[in-house]
Chain A
Amino acid sequence: MMKRRALSMSFMQVYTSKVFYLAIIGVTVLCFISVWDSLKMPGVSVSYLIEIFIGLAMFKKIVVLFAAIPFVSSFCSDWKCQYIKPVIIRSGINIYIRAKIITCFVTGLMTVFLGLLLFILVLSFRMPIFPVGNYGNMINLPLAPLATSFFPISYIVARCFVFSLSAALWSVVGLTVSAFIPIHFVAIASTVIASYFLEQITYFYLPDWLNLYKLTGSEDVIHQGPYISLFYFIFVFVSFSALAGLLFQYQVKRRINNEVV
Chain B
Amino acid sequence: MKLFNVASYVCLQNFRKWQVDYRVWIIAILLFMFTQIFTKEIIEFSKAINIEVTPWIFPFLFTQKFVKLLFFFPLILLFCDAPFIDDNQAYVIARSGRIPWSIGQIAYIIIASSIYFLFLLFLTIIINISHIQFTSSWGKVLGTLANTNASSVIGLKTFVSRNILYYFTPLQAMWFTFFLSWLVGIVLGLVIYVINSISNTRIWGVLTASFLLVLDATVTGFPSIYRFSPVSWSNLDRIDINGTTQMPSISYIYIGLAILIIGMIILGIIANRKQSIHVLPPI
Chain A residues packing against B (C-beta within 8 Å): 33, 56, 58-59, 61-62, 181, 183-186, 189-190, 192-193, 196
Q: Is B9 an interface residue (CB 8 A)?
A: no
Please indicate the chain B residues that have their CB under 8 angstroms from the CB of A181 in the complex: 22
Q: Is B283 an interface residue (CB 8 A)?
A: yes
Please indicate the chain A residues that have their CB under 8 angstroms from the CB of B118 in the complex: none
Please indicate the chain B residues that have their CB under 8 angstroms from the CB of A56 in the complex: 155
Q: Is B280 an interface residue (CB 8 A)?
A: no
Q: Is the interface of B mostly helix, strand, loop or mixed?
A: helix
- A184 touching B67, Cβ below 8 Å: no
A196-B34 Cα distance, complex, nearest whole Å: 10
- B23 touching A185, Cβ below 8 Å: yes
A189-B74 Cα distance, complex, nearest whole Å: 11
Q: Is B203 an interface residue (CB 8 A)?
A: no
Q: Is B84 an interface residue (CB 8 A)?
A: no
Please indicate the chain B residues that have their CB under 8 angstroms from the CB of A61 in the complex: 33, 37
- A193 touching B283, Cβ below 8 Å: no
A138-B31 Cα distance, complex, nearest whole Å: 33
Nearest CB in chain A: distance from B41 CB, A:
11
User: When each residue 123-142 of chain B gets 1 if its CB lies under 8 Å from chain A and 0 otherwise, what string results?
Assistant: 00000000000000000000
Given A193-B29, A193-B33, A59 and B22 contact (CB-CB distance below 8 Å): no
- A183 touching B22, Cβ below 8 Å: yes
Other A-B pairs, 6, CB within 8 Å; known A185-B26, A185-B283: A183-B283, A185-B77, A186-B23, A189-B30, A193-B33, A196-B33
- A186 touching B38, Cβ below 8 Å: no
A183-B23 Cα distance, complex, nearest whole Å: 9
Would you list which residues of chain B between 25 and 50 have a CB under 8 Å from chain A? 26, 29-30, 33, 37-38
- A186 touching B26, Cβ below 8 Å: yes
Please indicate the chain B residues that have their CB under 8 angstroms from the CB of A190 in the complex: 26
Given A33-B66, A56-B155, A193 and B22 contact (CB-CB distance below 8 Å): no
- A193 touching B30, Cβ below 8 Å: yes
- B23 touching A58, Cβ below 8 Å: no
Would you list which residues of chain B between 1 and 40 have a CB under 8 Å from chain A? 22-23, 26, 29-30, 33, 37-38
A193-B36 Cα distance, complex, nearest whole Å: 13
**28 A-B residue pairings within 8 Å (CB atoms):** A56-B155, A58-B38, A58-B66, A58-B67, A58-B70, A58-B157, A62-B70, A181-B22, A183-B22, A183-B23, A183-B282, A183-B283, A184-B283, A185-B22, A185-B23, A185-B26, A185-B77, A185-B283, A186-B22, A186-B23, A189-B26, A190-B26, A192-B30, A193-B26, A193-B30, A193-B33, A196-B33, A196-B37
Please indicate the chain A residues that have their CB under 8 angstroms from the CB of B77 in the complex: 185
A192-B30 Cα distance, complex, nearest whole Å: 8
Most chain A CB within a 10 A radius of its CB, from B30, B33, B282: B33
Please indicate the chain A residues that have their CB under 8 angstroms from the CB of B33 in the complex: 61, 192-193, 196
A119-B22 Cα distance, complex, nearest whole Å: 34
Nearest CB in chain B: distance from A5 CB, A:
30
A193-B66 Cα distance, complex, nearest whole Å: 19
Nearest CB in chain A: distance from B27 CB, A:
8
A196-B26 Cα distance, complex, nearest whole Å: 13
A59-B70 Cα distance, complex, nearest whole Å: 9
Which residue of chain A is the closest to B22 with respect to CB atoms? A186
Please indicate the chain B residues that have their CB under 8 angstroms from the CB of A192 in the complex: 30, 33
A186-B155 Cα distance, complex, nearest whole Å: 32
Nearest CB in chain B: distance from A208 CB, A:
20
A186-B77 Cα distance, complex, nearest whole Å: 12
> Which are the 9 A-B pairs with shortest beta-carbon distances?
A189-B26, A186-B22, A196-B33, A58-B157, A185-B283, A193-B29, A185-B23, A183-B22, A181-B22
A62-B282 Cα distance, complex, nearest whole Å: 24
- B22 touching A58, Cβ below 8 Å: no
Please indicate the chain B residues that have their CB under 8 angstroms from the CB of A33 in the complex: 66
Would you list which residues of chain B between 225 and 283 have a CB under 8 Å from chain A? 282-283
Which residue of chain A is the closest to B29 with respect to CB atoms? A193
